[in-house]
Amino acid sequence: MKDLIITSKRLKKRNIYSFRLLYHSIPDKYFSIITFKTPWYEMFTQIGYVIIISITLYLLVAMVRAVALLMKRLIKRAA
């Protein structure tokens, strides 16, 4: 069986993606707090939802990247 090696550069890149997605999902929570006039402590008590949203966004980005990679390989193979 072939060993899978993940380089530190790739791990750093994936961590940066996940932190960016978490960073971009927090303003959504601020927006909903302001829009629905809920207490600000919900920002901390509902952090689980923010993490789930960021994981979902990460998975969506990973799927798009995987499809793009497959398309790139198919085009390269056809040429």
Two tokens at 32? 């909903």
Cβ contact 39:64 at 8 Å: no
Cβ contact 51:23 at 8 Å: no
Counted residue by residue, the chain has a size of 79
- Residue-level pLDDT at 1: 61
The conformation of residue 6, written as its DSSP 8-state character, comes to -
Two tokens at 41? 């402590």
Cβ contact 21:54 at 8 Å: yes
- From first to last of the 79 residues of the chain, give the pLDDT tens digit: 677 777 889 888 888 888 887 787 788 888 888 999 989 888 888 888 878 888 888 899 889 999 999 999 999 988 7
Q: What is the dihedral of CA 13, 71, 62, 19, to 10 degrees?
A: 30
